[in-house]
Amino acid sequence: MTVLSKTMMTTGAIGTNSLASQIPKALVVSNLGRTRYADAWDLQHRLFELRQQGLVDDLLLFTEHEHVYTIGKGGDSNHLLASEKDLIREDTDLFRIDRGGDITYHGPGQIVGYPIIDLNHYFLDIHRYLRSLEQAIILTLAEFEIEAGREEGMTGVWVAGEKIAAIGVRVRRWVTMHGFALNVNTDLTKFEKIIPCGIFHKGVTSMKQILNREMPVEDVRHSLTEKLATVFGCQARTIPPEILHQEVPSLQDEHI
């Protein structure tokens, strides 16, 4: 048994009367640090496949990406306002990816979270999953005295009508990937080169802008971990990213 799969996992959905269903589910958390989008996407896809095979526990990957715009599978390329020359000059990548949603920006000062979890052990409801992610972020922001909430008919977390956290996910066989991006100390001028999430009439904000001070990213990340574990009723344990890079290739090789 590997470090990525050390704990007893339940085999039934929440709500069963078995003793196993009362055992907290494992959530393996790892902070990848600063990453290029392509590298994190590759690792996420490999872990997604391993989770579908039941070879690893549920995971939560954190990262801060280098500058990148991503467009979801239903997104409109016209919502990217930057030219190719702009992207090259500002060392900004562009990817069309397999999540839901439109275009968004990721970059330094923004906490990106990628939950790779099997909803068979929680609930088979994608809308409830999205609302659960929103709730964990809302609770985190409350810990920093920011009153956040939802906007009717829209996904994400908002403060006074401006988006502070974007959410876009993919679910296959009830295993999740992609996730959320919370603006902590994000350079908000990067959003001026896109129509964020395809929404014309709403602005974007950050914790730094609201509180008028640089925020401790590690403290926010720690709070997000706690709140996600609480919302999903699981037990989080942290491992260094080196473990992921060591164990993932061997797990794949063993099960080709």
Task: Enumerate the active-site residues.
Answer: 197
Q: How far is CA 250 from the centre of its chain?
A: 25
Number of neighbouring beta carbons within 10 Å of residue 163: 25
Among 82, 102, 127, smallest CA distance to 199 is for 102
Q: Is 142 helix (H, G, I), strand (E, B) or coil?
A: helix
From CA 83, how far away is CA 170, in angstroms rounded? 28
For residue 107, give every residue at least 6 positions away whose Cβ sits within 8 Å of its Cβ, in sequence order, or none: 64, 65, 66, 67, 68, 186, 187, 190
| Polymer length in residues for the chain | 256
Name the one residue in this structure whose structure tokens are 């003793």: 19
Closest CA to 236 of 31, 15, 18, 13: 31
- Which amino acid, one-letter code, is at 12? G
Tokens of 89: 């000059």
Q: Which two tokens stand for residue 151?
A: 């906007």
| Lookup: tokens for 47 | 């872990």
